[in-house]
Chain A
Amino acid sequence: MGILSDEKARRLLLPAAVLSVSGLLLTGCGAPPEEGDSNANGEAQVSTDPEVGDDNSDYLACIVSDEGGFDDRSFNQSSYEGLKAAESDYGIKIREAESQEPGEFTPNVNSMVDAGCNSIFGVGFMLGDTIKPIAEKESDIHFFGVDVTDGGFSDNVQNLTYDTAQAAFLAGYLAAGMSETGTVATYGGMELPTVTIFMEGFAEGVEYYNEQKDEDVKVLGWDNDAKTGSFIGDFSNQAAGKTNTANFINEGADIIMPVAGPVGLGTLDAVAEAGEDKGVKVIWVDSDGYESTDKGQYILTSVMKNMGQSVTDVIAEDLKGEFTHEAYLGTLENEGVGLAPYHDFDGEVPEDLKKEVEDLRQQIIDGDVTVESSIDEG
């Protein structure tokens, strides 16, 4: 704790000032673009409907996030990316509003109404309560509730729901087939229906494997009879995810499915620390973890919830004037949910098992195998 004289302080500040000024000088040396030049930046990752065309600049689609924000690496982000894809492919205009807390849901949606949006997307089940009364008043606007499962909405609302249990069922079957220790595990972020549906499907997939093969693969972290399981309590505490995963590994689990958004990164850390000889693998959820995380070498596959695609699809339908009040349900059949490629593990998964999973997928689509926890259509 010495004392800094004026002189010294001045001398220390000088280089900083010089640096920042020269920084400004350097960055300012680019060439100005030609007048009237516009740059288009498309980031399309979804398939698009050619019928719609690419000039719909009179259509304004708006999106309101829940507390997660549009950078949550989960459903807010996926939905937002779907909207961005529609912007670049269909030429629509978009507006977005992030909510920091539930108190902002209603002001945000109202603000979108005032902004003259043609359609408004509310992301997350909590937006359902917000949209319901506003949609009744604003019958000219089409509302979409992403992940909203309630009923009783007016005719200008379409809900987008996802039967992730179907895809998680396949993941459970695959995990049971790949497990060497005979124990697999799952845990959730918070006890929400959109989280537990993954865990139920996963546990049922393992059960189905046990029935078919007369095996006894155990599931840690979810009790499908009692419908209770292991939860972190939020979607941000990666350290808790790591501890939880380490415990599962100690109990002998060698395939783990975290259903907790970014908390799953903690699981990847724990798996990396457990070392190669344990051979622990992870099943990611929502997006393809091989692409969205930097530890793809541990990810066996991912249970994907293709929200971006469905958002783009319903916008296309609305542009064609084919809006429907009937809820969109993402299934294996319409590829609203699905299993990601095996990537690095492609060579390790036995061909027989791959075929069984593929057959099972077809059986679920055909209705020959029913997944108990599936949500009802409509």
Chain B
Amino acid sequence: MSTAAPQPTASEAPGTASGTQPGAGRPAPDQASVMRQILSGNGTVTVLAIVLSLLISGLLIVVTDEDVQETAGYFFGRPTDMLAAAWSAFSGAFLALFRGAIFNYEASNFEGMIRPLTETMTVATPLIIISLGIAIAFKAGLFNIGGQGQFIFGAMFATWFGVSMDLPFGVHLLVVLVMGVLGGMLWGSVVGLLKAYTGAHEVILTIMLNYVALNLLAYLLNTDVLRREGTTNPVSEFLPQQARFPLLFGEGFRLHWGFVLALAATAFAWWLLQRSTVGFRLRAVGANPAAARTAGISVKGAYITAMAVSGGLAGLAGMAHVSGTEGSLNTSVAGSFGFDAITVALLGRSNPVGVLFAGLLFGALRAGGVTMQTQTGVPIDIVLVVQSFIVLFIAAPPLVRTIFRLPAPGAAKARRTADPVTQPAVAGAAVAGASGEAAVPSVETQEAAVAAESAADGVEDPDPAPTAAEPAPAAGADTQTSEKGETR
């Protein structure tokens, strides 16, 4: 997690990074090698990472299924039972996911058929906007872990101006929107300023400010400032209709104009990063602060701008969530948006268009997860597992390449410049991947073993940890699901 410190690190020559960047002519995304590794993967690896995550999750669904467990007990007595149960668990879960996220072919009317897709877009709206903010910070070499807090500030500002003012239609929504952006921008700028002028690390700052924002929200919801009149529960008044986003397709659907705003925000982020001078400065600083400074770019200014824009977008996301989907504010309004946004930004390779699609994918997983849970009884946690595995594979492109036997672009160079920090992660991931698959019958166990081995080959110095690094992530996932199994 070594990010661009204000002081230049002489050992990193600007040339080492550029080779791994697919888009020639563009500056490398970051001097930190973790960042470089993550952002330099290509589209194929991304898609394969998603496929692989879905497959592993499918295996988890199968092995945690009660029918499968029961029929596995007499596998050699009547193997067809278990295979049938496994198939029905697997296909049932993914078909439900599809019906809940994209197209419900079981619905009786057209409205019911396309509702899932609109749900996906509704759920994705705030996620796309906040992830754009995180991506812009990434481009400037900043890890903005504070999306959560900035989201809360945007939501708080939007709610207060929505509830306590009475303005005509159109104007009110605009005021609420601007205030939401300002709220997030305020909270983001604090980090940018502290980082630029004191050198404080933005990761620590943002994490701490998340707590401040969360507790401030809880406090204000317990006072008359935000609390709904006539209740002692910590929820706000509903925003009046003129402060809400109008629905896009009428009463039958939850989808609102916030989604159009998300598309506009994507276009804005693309323009900012690719076409504006400000964006160029941000990318230059992200690529190499020392070189940027030498070229006459204000590094401090770039940090402040990046955090302000990043926070502003997070605030806009909070506003869109409250004013569009939810209608009121509560203590956990931010859910896990701030953290999911980091994943989405990584999956989208910090490219605004990529973020848009990554956000839609996560929206689909969330929307479909609901249907999967209610219709097949698969715990919603499996969706989290899918998301986590995606991150794991995205963060370890060599692993994905090895599993699918893809040629490694610039492999020799990658070996020379490999950062020891990333090595244990890669080696650990290889073992985790192997053990995740070891839960299935024998043939695949062998394959997995081979895969893990060759994955270890792929990196120069396979950490001896494989034995010690006994599949912590996979084991954790396992125990979690089995606990769930017990209580159900």
Within B417-453, which residues are at the interface with A (CB < 8 Å)? 434, 438-439, 441-442, 445-446, 449, 452-453
Instruction: Tell me the smallest distance from the CB of B470 to a CB of chain A, in Å.
Output: 9
Measured between beta carbons, the chain B residues less than 8 angstroms from A77 are: 487
CB-CB under 8 A for A191 and B235, given A9-B453, A32-B81? no
The answer to whether B73 and A2 have CB atoms under 8 Å apart is no
Q: Does A143 contact B (CB under 8 A)?
A: no
Binds A, one of B44-52, B302-310, B457-465: B457-465
**For the complex, what is the distance from the CA of A111 to the CA of B234, rounded to whole Å?**
26
> Chain B contacts of A10 at CB under 8 A?
453
Q: Which of B78, B100, B232, B484 contacts A32 (CB 8 A)?
A: B78
Contact of A100 with B335 at beta-carbon distance under 8 Å, contacts A6-B457, A10-B453, A193-B233 already known: yes
Contact B77 A30 (CB under 8 A): yes
Interfacial residues of chain B within 182-232, with CB under 8 A of chain A in the complex: 215, 218, 222, 231-232
Q: Contact: B336 with A100, CB < 8 Å?
A: yes
Q: A27-B72, A233-B215 are in contact. Are A107 and B445 (CB under 8 A)?
A: no
Partner of A3, one of B328, B379, B438, B464: B464
A334 to chain B, nearest CB (A): 24
B63 smallest CB distance to A (angstroms): 11
Name A148's closest neighbour in chain B (CB-CB): B233
Q: Are B373's CB and A98's CB within 8 A?
A: yes
Q: Which residues of B contact A29 (CB under 8 A)?
A: 74, 76
Tell me the nearest residue of chain A to B234, going by C-beta.
A192
Interface size class on chain A is 35 or more
Cβ of B336 and Cβ of A32 under 8 Å apart? Answer: no
Separation of A13 and B445 alpha carbons in the complex (Å) = 10
CA of A324 to CA of B234, assembled, Å? 28
Q: Are the C-beta atoms of B371 and A111 separated by less than 8 Å?
A: yes
Report yes or no: A28 in contact with B332, Cβ–Cβ below 8 A.
no
Q: Which residues of B contact A150 (CB under 8 A)?
A: 231, 233
Given A13-B449, A150-B231, A192-B234, A4 and B373 contact (CB-CB distance below 8 Å):
no
In Å, the complex CA distance between A111 and B367 comes to: 10
Surface stretch bound by B, among A15-23, A179-187, A300-308: A15-23
Chain A residues closer than 8 Å to B484, beta-carbon distance: 71
Q: Is B254 an interface residue (CB 8 A)?
A: yes
Interface 1/0s, chain A 20-52, versus B by CB < 8 A?
110010011111110000000000000000000
- From known contacts A13-B452, A16-B438, A71-B483, infer whether A111 and B100 are also in contact, taking CB-CB under 8 Å: yes
Instruction: Assess whether A98 is in contact with B380, with CB atoms less than 8 Å apart.
Output: yes
Report which residue of A27, A28, A95, A98 has the largest number of chain B beta carbons within 10 angstroms of its beta carbon: A28
Task: Closest A residue to B215 by CB, please name it.
Answer: A233
Contact A13 B453 (CB under 8 A): yes
Chain A residue nearest in CB terms to B325: A103
Contact between A28 and B74, CB atoms less than 8 A apart: yes
Given A28-B74, A106-B254, A191-B222: A1 and B464 within 8 A (CB)?
A: yes
Inter-chain contact B462/A3, CB cutoff 8 Å: yes
Interface string of B330-349 (1 = CB under 8 A from A): 11110110000000000000
Task: Select from chain A the residue with minimum beta-carbon distance to B99.
Answer: A114
Q: Does A97 contact B (CB under 8 A)?
A: yes
Within 8 A of A (CB), among B373-411: 373-375, 377, 379-380, 384
Which residues of chain A are within 8 angstroms of B321 by Cβ–Cβ distance? 103
28 A/B residue pairs, CB under 8 Å, sorted by A:
A6-B453, A6-B457, A9-B456, A9-B462, A9-B466, A12-B467, A20-B439, A21-B445, A27-B72, A28-B72, A28-B75, A32-B71, A70-B488, A95-B377, A97-B370, A98-B373, A98-B379, A102-B333, A103-B335, A111-B370, A111-B373, A114-B112, A150-B231, A150-B233, A190-B234, A190-B331, A192-B234, A233-B218
Where the two chains meet, the residues of A that have a C-beta atom closer than 8 Å to any C-beta of B are: 1-4, 6, 9-10, 12-13, 16-17, 20-21, 24, 27-33, 62, 67, 70-71, 77, 95-98, 100-104, 106-108, 111-112, 114-115, 125-126, 129, 149-150, 190-193, 196, 233
